[in-house]
Amino acid sequence: MRLAEISREAPVLIAGPTASGKSGLAMELAARDGRMIVNADALQVYGCWRLLTARPSVADEAALPHALYGHVGRDQAYSVGHWLREVAGWLDRPVVIVGGTGLYFLALTEGLAEVPEIPAQVRAEADALRAADLPAMVAALDADTAARIDLANPARVQRAWEVLRATGRGLAAWQADTPAPLIARNQAEALVLRPQVDWLNARIDRRFDQMMAQGALEEVRAELPHWHPLRPSARAIGAPDLVAHLQGQMPLEAAVAAAKLASRQYAKRQRTWLRNRMRDWRAVVPE
């Protein structure tokens, strides 16, 4: 796709798997149109990671305006609801919204059910039940919700169980009352990058080597005193492997290989999700 084929007026949304070139395209559009680059990646919000999550560099952030990058503490909860409330504050200007977290884009273009926050006590109860008896958690769901969610996904089952337990109302009922989206799909230039698999896997491997050369291991070493594997910020791809190396559990070469494999597997999951859920987005094959 040529840059000239992309709208100069409509909000531009760019989704795609990791390492597919989303940020570079966003930078080009921001420079061309005077747009704000707004993050839609659930891991690039964390301030403790820059290299490992491929956040824009300090130089890139100085060259063009960026929003919602690196502004969340390592131990802070940050959900799609948090992101949607924050992104609403940037939609009064030209934007290019870019990232790999598909749920953020669906909430933006389809709306998000306004489910109340789950109390910590209910979350703890759910954690215990999921670990002890996931089938009982599935069985406790209301029929409408059970028919709509992926019952093979423990995280989705737990979320539905928590909502029902905390509010007395099924997740499907909350979703039926979803408010209007902030940006309707037909009001945006919605692009999804669909790279060839071999091309993308080679880029993933090269990029991780570049991350290591730029100091990714030192970034993880700085995070080690604060490391907790259950924090959302700990889901940064490659972080558990490099932590394992720093803790003496595996050689560096093995840790790097494991991180590259995890990145390729993550990209595969992203491609599948984007293919299934963004069929009406304009496909772009990067070269």
pLDDT, one tens digit per residue, over 30-77 is: 999 999 999 999 999 999 999 999 999 999 999 999 999 999 999 998
Residue 83 CB coordination number (10 Å) = 25
Quote the pLDDT of residue 208. Answer: 98
The CA–CA distances, whole Å, from 185 to 60, 68, 128, 163, 181 equal 29, 22, 39, 28, 9
CB 15 within 8 A of CB 107: no
Percent of the chain whose pLDDT exceeds 90: 92
pLDDT digits (tens, 9 = 90+) for 23-32: 999 999 999 9
What is the pTM for the complete model shown? 0.86
